[in-house]
């Protein structure tokens, strides 16, 4: 081969090698996330879901070096926001943060078909947090524990009332579960929010109320109502000396509220994996753990497929309770 051609071949090979090295150094696509990520909250601003969503957004912004913001799309018991996210572009830039309703309760509770299917339209990211519930009675109710309350209800079927923050809320379904498992007849009284229900419990207008521990503790500590059981599997830090419902003889009873984080089902796997990893890191940080416990919640510990399994179990559990109770929303 002539010398000039040999030089040209060497130069060509060198150019190809340099181009290959440059291609390796340059990512084929931008690393997720490279623009603003919207976390949709399906409830009104200022509530516990909104507060937790903003905590998550702040910490993910720091962890992933991108901007995560909370966007409110409230309405229809959370279904409006859920449908919006389910039908959004599945690129990982529109995510969903919610209480249990839209993911595991509403598909059974609502008579009309929803505009989304939680099992098919969402990819599970994380169980972000869990909030304990406590079972309380009015001070003029003679029952001091769960067994005494059950005995009282059996002695006066249909006369004891339990309040809730509305049909299909966790306090409502907790009361229905108690009624079913204890085989008692108690009457549901729905309110527009937990505040009015608590006021009527204090006033003795209703006799029984399940509510989130953080909002109940001030009334319990002020002796305005009587706590007779923790509703979850374990005793939370806030009421460590109070036995659970299960410990008091109703084996298997467990009710908590929780915060779930999901994405559209077809979110790219690499981006989804990176998001799950980031949320795990956020939940393990001491400052987030402290902040969540100050708000009365415990950090979640189920991610990806494990959170999906958790949601399936919750859907089955609450679907059975709703069908047995006859509760529905048109």
Report pLDDT digits (tens) over 182-224. Answer: 999 999 999 888 889 999 999 999 999 999 988 888 999 999 9
Q: Which pLDDT does position 13 carry in this prediction?
A: 56
Q: Which pLDDT does position 161 carry in this prediction?
A: 97
Token duo for residue 291: 């902040």
d(Cα 197, Cα 215) in Å, to the nearest integer? Answer: 12
Token duo for residue 202: 């204090």
Q: What is the pTM of this model?
A: 0.83
Token duo for residue 61: 């912004």
Q: Which pLDDT does position 15 carry in this prediction?
A: 46
Pairing between strand 122-137 and 68-72?
Answer: unpaired
Q: Is the dihedral of CA 96, 97, 100, 101 positive or negative?
A: negative
Q: Which pLDDT does position 306 carry in this prediction?
A: 98
What is the CA 309 to chain-centroid distance, rounded? 14
Q: Which pLDDT does position 236 carry in this prediction?
A: 87
Q: Which pLDDT does position 61 carry in this prediction?
A: 98
pLDDT < 70 regions, the chain: 1-29
Q: Which pLDDT does position 22 carry in this prediction?
A: 43
d(Cα 84, Cα 78) in Å, to the nearest integer? Answer: 10
């Amino acid at each position: 081969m002539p010398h000039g051609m040999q030089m040209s071949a060497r130069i060509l090979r060198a150019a190809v090698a340099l181009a290959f090295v440059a291609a390796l150094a340059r990512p084929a696509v931008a690393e997720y996330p490279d623009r603003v990520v919207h976390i949709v909250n399906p409830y009104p601003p200022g509530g516990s879901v909104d507060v937790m969503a903003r905590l998550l957004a702040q910490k993910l912004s720091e962890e992933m070096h991108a901007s995560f913001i909370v966007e409110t799309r409230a309405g229809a018991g959370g279904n409006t926001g859920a449908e919006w996210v389910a039908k959004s572009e599945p690129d990982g830039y529109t995510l969903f943060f919610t209480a249990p309703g839209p993911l595991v309760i509403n598909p059974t509770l609502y008579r009309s078909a929803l505009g989304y299917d939680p099992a098919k339209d969402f990819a599970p990211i994380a169980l972000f947090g869990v909030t304990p519930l406590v079972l309380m009675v009015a001070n003029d109710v003679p029952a001091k524990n769960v067994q005494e309350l059950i005995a009282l209800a059996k002695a006066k079927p249909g006369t004891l009332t339990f309040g809730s923050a509305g049909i299909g809320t966790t306090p409502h379904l907790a009361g229905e579960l108690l009624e079913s498992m204890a085989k008692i007849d108690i009457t549901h009284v729905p309110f527009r929010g937990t505040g009015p229900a608590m006021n009527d419990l204090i006033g003795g207008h209703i006799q029984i109320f399940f509510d989130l521990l953080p909002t109940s503790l001030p009334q319990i500590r002020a002796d305005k109502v009587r706590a007779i059981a923790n509703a979850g599997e374990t005793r939370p830090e806030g009421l460590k000396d109070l036995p659970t419902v299960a410990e008091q003889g109703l084996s298997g009873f467990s009710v908590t509220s929780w915060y779930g984080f999901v994405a559209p089902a077809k979110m790219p796997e690499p981006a989804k994996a990176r998001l799950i990893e980031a949320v795990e890191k956020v939940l393990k940080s001491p400052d987030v753990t402290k902040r969540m416990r100050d708000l009365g919640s415990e950090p979640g510990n189920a991610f990806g497929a494990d959170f999906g399994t958790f949601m399936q179990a919750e859907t089955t559990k609450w679907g059975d309770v709703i069908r047995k109770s006859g509760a529905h929303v048109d």
